[in-house]
């Protein structure tokens, strides 16, 4: 079990603060006691708490592609990453680690948003594409790995747990009363809404694309 977090700010002169991202990561330290990593550049920040399973020595996250234009934070396990790696290496991609995380990076380079169609496993990940100035977020087909997100007037925030988002100073913990009838009737919430106002869960088999102006697009790939 690992945990991921991230912030994308919309204002052109805004900057993500590293200490804020670390505070978000600290809210889920129980998910990843082995390691922490952050990537912060201008309006974008990605954070990770890691439980080391695959590639214990060089599997530190965030991980980038060869030229540092694509960065990823990833929670999960890709079961077919060795097969994908062989295929991607034949197409010219160069690896620096043995981790399944890096395979997602190169699959995104090769296939774009369709990379999720090639992945077999459980996953929640976020990729910042500096060339296209776009955030790409995906969750596995059955929703084994969790992911929550919130769009404020100033930022887009995501995390493996709701309290990761609540650790950001822009977000207040406000009760979402609209969910109460559904919960009282069925004992759970079926859709993307949560009990916290403005915080949603990424549904199983769904991807999100966000540009730096804050335009958000959701697609179901499975």
Residues noted as catalytic:
2
Find out whether 138 and 123 touch, Cβ atoms under 8 Å.
yes
What is the C-alpha to C-alpha distance for residues 24 and 5, in angstroms, rounded to an integer? 7
What is the C-alpha to C-alpha distance for residues 64 and 140, in angstroms, rounded to an integer? 21
Does residue 121 come out as left (phi exceeding 0), alpha (psi in the -120 to 50 range) or beta? left
Contacts 24+ apart (CB under 8 A), 151-154: 151/198, 151/214, 151/216, 152/198, 154/9, 154/10, 154/11, 154/14
DSSP letters, 75-127, are: EEEETTHHHHHHHHHHTT---SSS-HHHHHHHHHHHHGGGGGGG--EEEEEEE
Q: Which two tokens stand for residue 21?
A: 């991202």
Full strand arrangement of the beta sheet holding 63-64? 63-64, 70-78, 121-129, 134-139, 206-211, 216-220
């Amino acid at each position: 079990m690992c945990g991921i977090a991230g912030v994308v700010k919309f204002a052109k002169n805004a900057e993500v603060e590293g200490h804020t991202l670390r505070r978000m990561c600290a809210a889920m330290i129980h998910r990843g006691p082995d390691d922490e990593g952050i990537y912060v550049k201008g309006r974008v920040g990605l954070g990770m708490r890691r439980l080391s399973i695959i590639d214990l020595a060089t599997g530190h996250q965030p991980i980038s592609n060869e030229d540092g234009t694509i960065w990823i934070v990833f929670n999960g396990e890709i079961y077919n990453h060795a097969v994908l790696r062989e295929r991607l290496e034949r197409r010219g991609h160069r690896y620096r680690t043995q981790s399944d995380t890096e395979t997602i990076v190169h699959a995104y380079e090769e296939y774009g948003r369709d990379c999720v169609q090639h992945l077999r496993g459980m996953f929640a990940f976020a990729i910042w594409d500096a060339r296209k100035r776009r955030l790409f977020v995906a969750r596995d087909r059955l929703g084994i790995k969790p992911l929550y997100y919130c769009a404020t007037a100033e930022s887009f925030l995501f995390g493996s747990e709701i309290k990761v988002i609540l650790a950001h100073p822009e977000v207040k913990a406000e009760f979402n009363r609209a969910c109460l009838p559904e919960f009282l009737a069925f004992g759970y919430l079926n859709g993307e809404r949560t009990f916290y106002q403005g915080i949603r869960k990424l549904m199983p088999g769904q991807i999100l694309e966000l540009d730096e102006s804050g335009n958000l697009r959701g697609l179901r790939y499975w």
